[in-house]
Amino acid sequence: MSDARNVLGTLLQVCGVSPMTGFVRDGICHTGQEDIGSHTVCVQMTDAFLQYSLSRGNDLVSPAPEYDFPGLKEGDRWCMCASRWLAAAEDGVAPPVILEATHIRALQVTTLADLQYHGLRAKELPGA
């Protein structure tokens, strides 16, 4: 069990397992020295963000079986790069953030206030 912390200072929660996310594909937005992109922000994908990403040359929609990547759709949870999330926020298309599953290292790139502004409320989360 990891003792990694989220941006709220509590234990880092699972981001998503269907599809399996995380830099090491364990469902959690862990990070380390190998994770150059800092895949620390847990988001719930939106069509607007997926189209934005595609327009910038990052195709997150198309499956890439050679990388065990199923492709993403609206509603999927995914650990994304903090800098890409910040760029999308600045352009007005940031996907909503699941704060409890966003690694504290995301705060090296963006602010807690920005993440909270885009945070999903508990009643908006599945199973709530």
pLDDT, tens only, 57-96: 999 999 998 887 899 999 999 999 999 999 999 999 999 9
The predicted-structure confidence for 89-118, as pLDDT tens digits, reads as follows: 999 999 999 999 999 999 999 999 999 999
Q: Give the distance from CA 25 to its chain's centroid.
A: 13
pTM of this prediction?
0.91
60: left (phi over 0), alpha (psi -120 to 50) or beta: alpha
pLDDT of residue 124: 54
Helix axes 47-55, 82-90, angle to 10 degrees: 100
Q: What SS3 class is residue 40?
A: strand
Q: Which helix (H) or strand (E) holds 81?
A: strand 77-81
Cβ-contact 29, 20 below 8 angstroms? no
Domains for the chain: give ranges and CATH numbers: 1-128 (3.30.56.110)
Q: Tell me how far apart the alpha carbons of residues 117 and 27 are, in angstroms, rounded to a whole number.
A: 24
